[in-house]
Structures are given as structure tokens and as C-alpha cells.
Structure 1
Amino acid sequence: MSEEFKEQLRKYSEGTLPEEEREALESEMEKLEAYQLYLEEQMEREEQTNGQWTKADPAGTDSPGLKKVKKKAEKREKKIIRRGKWKARLVNTITVFAAFIIFMIISNIITIVFYSTGNRGETYSDVVSSAIAVTRPNTTTYLSSDAKSFFRMNLTGKLLKQVGGEKVQMGDYKQTFLLGLSYPGVFNWMDDRNAGNYIFYYPAADGSVSSGDDSDEWNKLDKLPEGTVAEAYLSFDHLFTTDELLKEFEVLNLRPVWFGADTGPSTHDEVVTNPLGFPYDPIWHDDDMLKSEVTTKKTGWFSSVSSYGSVSPAVKPYGDGALRDANFIKTLKLLQQHQSLARKAAPFIELDTSLSYLQEHGVQLYGAVATGPVKELLKLREVSWVSYMRVGEVRLWNWRE
């Protein structure tokens, strides 16, 4: 492009080009886009020097060709800016989405590794289910763990009671973990009575009968149809060893399901408000299980799968009191090792003082939960060692003799 032509363009932009030359130049600019681009550059320089690019010619003295060039330049500039904005938005969105996906993958890997290392998930499940079993009479739960993203894990399970010959669902339980931290467990009862319907009376020091009046409870039991089974909370007039109590139940057509243990001053009040005890079926832990011979099967050149069976130790139906007591103490020691976690499921549990008392005085029982046919439970009214009875859950006949 010659210097002469550039000079014409400069004069054209300033509006000093003669009419004939201006028309010829405008005709040329419409044909040659290169000239138009150069003019835009010239106009941009003019804007930088005097700040009048967008406000040029307020009186309308600009030529039609120059106005057209300016209009095209403005449209092109807006189009470029708009395209740039959308491109930036798209890039930002893709970047954020990719970062989120990467974070989810990393958090899932960390979550799985954390809860599987050292069998943390199984240990947490064992501690929580054990805490519920020893603090809530005749209540058991079998928890399943579910690792979530963002370092979380949920323990969930059904809350079950033994009523007659069957386990009956009373509600649901859920506890959420964030790595090693746990939120309080949530009990969702189908009936609010199950949250604390149990009442036990500790034996009086002089061996007298409990001051609690249970006449209404016996009348309630007496009015139930014969073809029903029920749950009964029993308080005793004196303390039993586990073997002694099992011998008493051996001659009854009833099933003991939970035993309340004397754990020291907290249970020596007339009414036991925070019972601590153990279920009739011992709470076996992983190291209690008897494992069969391990069998290994190759699944590839460098991989194999090992399998084995496991069974719990055998327990006499109405005996092995020492084994049951030892299992109870072992369970409390497990809870003591994970005391903060145990308190999330059983806030009022006093593990240190209870364990010290039990290890010093041995396991002695002040109450129990029994279940069976209503007609059999009514016979307990004539049993001398039962000082108080409270009716729990009732179901239609499901008893197996």
C-alpha cells in the first residue's frame, strides 16, 4: 500500500479529502476489505489520541462511507467481545466441572481406603451395635456400612426386639461418620413407647419387695387373649449370678432375652433409669469366631481368592454363666476403647466406673427381660423372686414349644 494512498485514507478519516477523490476512495473501499481493515486501524489510533472514536462527528459531517465503516467495525468488535465472553464462560464451566469430578474421584478413593484400613468400618459397626445391645433392653440391630463420597460413611440397620418366638422390627437406626468423627445416632421408633418403656427396681437392702405397684400391669397381662405372646420386664427381690438365674428360667416355658447387671452406685437407686446389661445370646466379636481351614483358589496368574467359614462358640442354653459374663466384660472393654463413639449411640453409658465395679464385684443381676406365651408369663405372679413386672410388646401367637 503506497504512502500516497495511506495519506488519502488519513485525509478521508479527517474529512478533508476532496469530493471527487472521496467518492473514488469510498468505491474502492467497498471492493477491497484490506483497505477497510487498515482504515479501522487508523480510526483506532485516532481514538487513542483524542478519545473521540465513538463520538466522532456529533454534527453529522462524516461521510456515508465512513459511517458505514464505523458501524461495521462496531458490530465486529461487539461480536468478538461476545464470542470471547461465551468462550470464557465455557472454559470456566468445563474447568469447574472437571475439578469437581476429580475431587469426587479422589474423595471416594480416600473414603474407601480410610474405612477399609484396619477394618475401621467393621469395628465402628461392632461398637455401635454393641452399645445399643447393652444399654437398651431386648434391642438389637444388625448394621450395614455404606461408604459415601466426601469422606462420609453411614451405618444403618433395623431395631429389633424378641417377642415370643420371632424378632420384630421396632424402628430404624442411622449413624453418620465423617472420617474418624461421628454424629449422634438417630433412633426412629415406630412407637415412641419403645424409646424408654422399660422400668426396673433395684432389690431393697433388707430384701423386702419393691415399692413399685405393678397390679395394673398384671391386670393388663391377664386381659390379653391366651393366643398371644408378650414381652415382660422383670425386677428381682435379690441379686442373682448368671448361672443361678438361668437355672430358674430352665423350668419355665419362657425365653430370657436380656439381663440387667449391677454396675455400681448408678444402679443402686430404687428405680434404675440407665440400665446396663447383656443379651441372652452373647455379643460375639470378630476375634471370638472359630474359623475353619482357609482355602485358596487362583483366579489368574497373579491373583487368588481366599475363603473360610466361621462359627461362634457353643453356649449351653441354660448354663455357661462364666462365659456369658466374660463376653459381657469384653464387650464393655471394647466400648471403653472407643468411648466417644459408644456415647454417640448410648449417651448415658458410664463405662469406666461400671467396668471397675464389675471387675471387683463380679456380674450380678437385678432384673431381666423375658418373653413367651401370656399364660406362661402370668405364672410369674406366683414366683417369689419376681418383685415387679412391666408389660412390653404384645404379638399374636408365634411361639414354638
Structure 2
Amino acid sequence: MDKDDVLNEWTEEENKVDKKSAKKLVWRTRISITFTVIRTLLAILLLYIVYMIPTSIYYDTSGKADEFNRVVTTMVELRYPGIAVDLHETWHAAEITPFLTQKTTLPIYRQVGEWKVAVGEVTASKSILFGKINYSVDLDNKYIDEGEMGFALSSYALHDKPATPPSNPNPSPLFDQLEKIDDGHVAQVSFSTRERMEPEQLRKIISKYDVEIHQMPIYAGELKAFNVGMSSSGSLTWVDGLLLRPFIEYDDKNRWSSKNHALTRQEDLAHAVDQFYQDLEWLIEHGDYYDKETDEKRLSYLKENELAVYGATVTGPIREIERLKEEEMFYEFNLGGIEVWNWE
């Protein structure tokens, strides 16, 4: 064997040793990095648990979760015609994120006859440290371009008793639809009144019919004492107003303890009117939301003027709903929903 062959053999052996060493080094490095990543992730997870467990416990035990649910429930039910929040879900729905943002998702329903028909949910969030409440109401509409229920302010209702009353509006096309439906159904409808009136006055008119009252829109100085969001068509104006709802009682920890079913009885309506002022004052004091200044103006107006309403949301048998067209005071009917018979 000559010197060149020996040298080549040594070189090959040395390269094999270098490759093996390099592979071992690569695998050691990979394993080391893997364990470092795992340790880091475990440390982050441990810190997250150590941080979130006491934070969540404090959030739940301090009453912040129940207060946030109450704020969201009150905001929605005072503003959205025809729907209500399922209060049974407000006991445990709110939560706190690692970035100290409150979040909640609550189911909403329509009262159609004796049915509580699930129609969507409200989602809300708010940073504890800063910012205002952001919320959205998502309805499970059945039809394309399905409109929302609402209430119209006629020029007669908007102003203080003009000398000439408005002409009798045309019957709503809704009743042509109801005529085609048999007796074994119940419906939810909203309607407006041609003038403002005291809640008890409207309740007495509606009491002639076998229906339940669940909401009444309140006139709180909109477009007269101050401006709000609105749309108009002819002599009619739709405003984003507040609603009178059935009484809800909360305990000192902001958890609901009792609830009236409707505004149909005189004592329940009177109770709801008293509670409305308390709810609005509480919402202004504890809520940080975009319409807060407007609600302050509404509350100021209502304290200086008698509470007046200009419509209602009701539910009952189809034939009783049809009879409502007998009242010349009622117009601008909107259908909320129809279900099979469930009525006592």
C-alpha cells in the first residue's frame, strides 16, 4: 500500500467520524431546543393558570360578572322591540379574558303566545380598564330582508295635541295575511298609537282583547327636547327610543330574583313604571355605553314630564290579534312571529 492510499483511507475514516459527530450534535441541539420550548410553554401555562384562576375567582365573587350581565340585559330589553333576554342564562354567562375584557353571550327570545321562541343571541364585551360596552344583537331571521319590529311617532303623537287630529290610517296589510291563518295559532305583533297617552290608559284599551302586553315604547323627548337616530316616511317618524318592560327584581348582588310575566294587569304595569325609572338610573350609573348621554337627557325629560307611551307589543290568539284593527287609535302593525296554538 503506497502513501497516497494510506492518506486517502485516513481521510475517509476522519470524514466518517466528523459526520457522526455532526449528526449527534444536530440531534442533541434539536432535543435541547425541544425541551427548552416545552419548558417555556409549561412555564407560560403555569403563569397563565396562576394568573387566571385568582382573576376569574375574584371576577365571579366580586359580582362584576352579574353586574355586566345586568347592564347588557337592561340595555337590550329597553331598546329592542319584541325580544327579551333569557334571564336563566345570566347566572354564569359572563367571563373575564387574560386582557381583562369582560365578555358575555346571552340567548334572546320572542314571546309568541305561551311559547318562548329562541330567535338569536346578544354578544357583548368591555374592557375593565377602559373603553365602552360593545354589543350586537344577532337575530335568526327566517326570510331575506326580514325587517325588525318598531314603533312610529305620528306628527300628532310627536307634538302636544295639535288642533286637527290625524286622518285614520289605512288598515295594515298584516290583517290580509292573518285572515288566511286558521284559529289554531298564536301571534306576536307590535303597533303604534296615533297619540301619546299614559300607560294605564293604553292598558285599559287593550284589556278588551284576550292578549298579553309585553312592551310599550316610551316617549322621552326625542326629536323635541333633543335629537336621536331616526328615519321617516311621510308624516311618520321612527326613533331609537326606550321601552317599558315587565318588572324585573334584582338582589344586592345584581342577580335577578323575580320577574313579572307581562304588563297586562294594572298592578303589574304600575310596578313596571316605577321600576323603569330605577332601571334607567341604575344603567346610567353602572353602565359605560355609547348612548349614556342620550339616556341622561331622556331621564331628565321624564322627571320633568309625565311618562307617556305610543304603542305596544302584544301576543295572543290570531283571532284576537285581528280584532285589534277595530281600534282607530292603533296603526302601523308589525308581525313578530306566528306559532301553533299555546294559550290559556
TM-score range, shorter chain: 0.7 to 0.9
Aligned to 1:118: 62
Amino acid corresponding to residue 237 of structure 2 in structure 1: V
Whose helix proportion is higher, 1 or 2?
1
- Match status 1:332 vs 2:312: no
Helix, strand or coil: the match of 1:201? strand
Q: How many angstroms apart in 2 are the aligned matches of 1:355 and 1:393? A: 32
Distance 1:311 1:141, change over 3 A: closer
Q: Percent identity?
A: 19
Give the 3-state SS of the residue equivalent to 2:267 in structure 1: coil
Question: d(CA) in 2 for partners of 1:313 and 1:135?
Answer: 18
User: What's the TM-score once normalised by structure 1's chain length?
Assistant: 0.68
Tell me what 1:357 maps to: 301
RMSD of Structure 2 on Structure 1 (CA): 3.6
Q: Deviations over 1:152-195 (max 9, x none)?
A: 55422222111122221122232345555554334142336666
Q: CA deviation at 1:267?
A: 7.7
Which residue, out of 151, 167, 170, partners 2:116? 167
Provide the C-alpha distance between the structure 1 equivalents of 2:47 and 2:96, rounded to a whole number of angstroms.
13
Alignment of 1:183-332 (within 5 A): 183-191=134-142, 196-202=148-154, 204=156, 205-206=161-162, 208-209=165-166, 212-266=169-223, 270-279=236-245, 281-287=246-252, 311=258, 317-319=265-267, 321-332=269-280
1:386 is matched with 330
Deviation at 1:235, TM superposition (A): 1.6
Amino acid at match of 1:277: L
* Matched AA of 1:196: E
> Could you tell me how far apart the structure 2 residues matched to 1:322 and 1:120 are?
30
- Taking the aligned partners of 1:313 and 1:229, their CA distance within structure 2 comes to 21
CA–CA distance in 2 between the matches of 1:243 and 1:222?
Answer: 30
After superposition, what is the alpha-carbon deviation per residue over 1:101-149, rounded to whole angstroms, capped at 9, x for unaligned?
A: 1233134225404522531110111111111111111211124415365
Q: How many residues align?
A: 321
SS in 2 for 1:372: strand
Report if the CA contact (8 A) 1:175-1:185 is conserved: yes
Q: Which amino acid aligns with 1:190?
A: N
Task: State the shift of 1:243 in Å.
Answer: 2.3
1:30-56 deviation line (CA, Å, top 9, x unaligned): xxxxxxxxxxxxxxxxxxxxxxxxxxx
**How far apart, CA to CA, are the structure 1 residues paired with 2:34 and 2:215?**
64
Q: 1:169 to 1:311 in 2, by over 3 A?
A: closer
Q: 1:197: how far off?
A: 3.0
3-state SS in 1 of match to 2:266: coil
Q: Secondary structure at the match of 1:399?
A: coil
Query: Deviation per CA, 1:216-265, whole angstroms, max 9, x where unpaired?
Result: 23323333322222222222233222222223333321111101111113
Equivalents in 1 of 2:318, 2:221: separation in Å?
Answer: 33
Offset at residue 60 of structure 1 (A):
4.9
* 1:201 maps to amino acid: L
| Structure with larger Rg | 1
Are the aligned partners of 1:226 and 1:374 in contact in 2 as well (CA < 8 Å)?
yes
Q: Please state how far the C-alpha of 1:65 moved relative to its aligned partner.
A: 7.7
Structure 1: runs of 5+ lacking an equivalent: 1-58, 292-309
Is the CA contact 1:161–1:170 (under 8 Å) kept in the aligned structure 2?
A: yes
Deviates more, 1:91-100 or 1:203-212: 203-212
Which residue in the other structure is 2:317 paired with? 373
Deviation of residue 348 (structure 1)? 9.8
Q: Give, as a single letter, the amino acid of the residue that structure 2 aligns with 1:245.
A: L
Distance 2:59 2:293 in 1: 26
Query: For 1:117-136, what aligned pairs fall within 5 Å after superposition?
Result: 117-136=61-80
Question: Which of the residues 103, 127, 150 maps onto 2:98?
Answer: 150
Give the CA deviation at 1:215. 3.7
CA 1:84–1:391 in 2, change beyond 3 Å: closer, same or farther? closer
TM-aligned CA deviation for residue 318 of structure 1: 2.1
Residue 80 of structure 1 deviates from its aligned partner by 4.8
Specify the SS of the correspondent of 1:138: coil
Check the 8 A contact 1:164/1:397 in 2, yes or no: yes
Alpha-carbon distance, 1:361 to partner: 0.6
User: Residue deviations 1:354-386, cap 9 Å, x none?
Assistant: 111111112111111111112112222222432
Return the letter of the residue paired with 2:74.
Answer: S
The question of whether the paired residues in 1 share the 8 Å contact of 2:217 and 2:242 is answered with yes
Structure 2: runs of 5 or more not aligned: 226-231
* Distance of 1:267 and 1:379 partners within structure 2: 33
Task: State the alpha-carbon separation in 1 of the partners of residues 192 and 209 from structure 2.
Answer: 16
Instruction: Please give the secondary structure, in 2, of the residue aligned with 1:171.
Output: strand
- Change in Cα spacing, 1:83 to 1:361, as seen in structure 2 (3 Å) is same
Counting only pairs closer than 5 Å after superposition, residues 7-46 of structure 1 correspond to structure 2 as none
